[in-house]
Amino acid sequence: MAAHELYLLPSGTLALPRSTLVRGSSQTQEELLPVYSALIRTDDGDIVFDTGLDPDGNRDPSALGAGAARMLRSFTEQDDLRSRLRDAGASEDKVAAVVPSHFHFDHIGALRFFTRSKVYVQNAEHRMATHPDLRYTASRKLFDHPLDYHLIDGDTQIVPGVWALATYGHTPGHQSLVFTLPETGVVVLTGDAVYT
């Protein structure tokens, strides 16, 4: 079995009107959204799913962008993904693969630190992010780095037993991660394919 441990790594909290997430609900009620990354320990090396918020935002929320700064409710230095990885006995320098669910600011904020990792991105997501004529909302400063991108199309095995599944909808190239843990069974990390 490839995957043997899972760590959920908190990376701050955002807030949106509940009506943004659940059709027909209150526009005045605020819904708190935890931002998280996941560390999956496998026989073939560590995998990180999503990289949370940009660590520059914990000192200066405006670094996240105006809209994102308005949504921010909490984000500490401890919420920096690099700190969370150290707490779990890992390091961004030793992560074998990163699988961002999609290229929104709260899912790729620390992507630039994974210079030694393979980064698996759906081709459709990468295309939307890199072609401004398609009017995508990804900030180039979060993904336009010399990283080892591996563009994939559809369901793809990252390492034996760990699959990126195409879950398009939230964005054109959204992907989820599926694996099996020895005691827990099947785990599906959905990113923003499922809000609530």
How buried is 102 (Cβ within 10 angstroms: 0-12 exposed, 13-18 middle, 19+ buried)? buried
Give the model confidence (pLDDT) of 93-104 as tens digits.
Answer: 999 999 999 999
Per-residue model confidence (pLDDT) at position 26: 80
- For 91, list phi and psi in degrees, rounded to 5: -155, 145
pTM: 0.94
Task: Classify residue 129 by its DSSP letter.
Answer: H
- H or E stretch covering 66: helix 66-71
Give the model confidence (pLDDT) of 142-181 as tens digits.
Answer: 888 899 999 999 999 999 999 999 999 888 899 999 999 9
Q: Which residue, 113, 49, 47, 52, is CA-closest to 80?
A: 52
Give the model confidence (pLDDT) of 27-51 as tens digits.
Answer: 889 999 999 999 999 999 999 999 9
Q: Where are the domains of the chain?
A: 3-189
Please give the class, per CATH, of domain 3-189. Answer: alpha beta
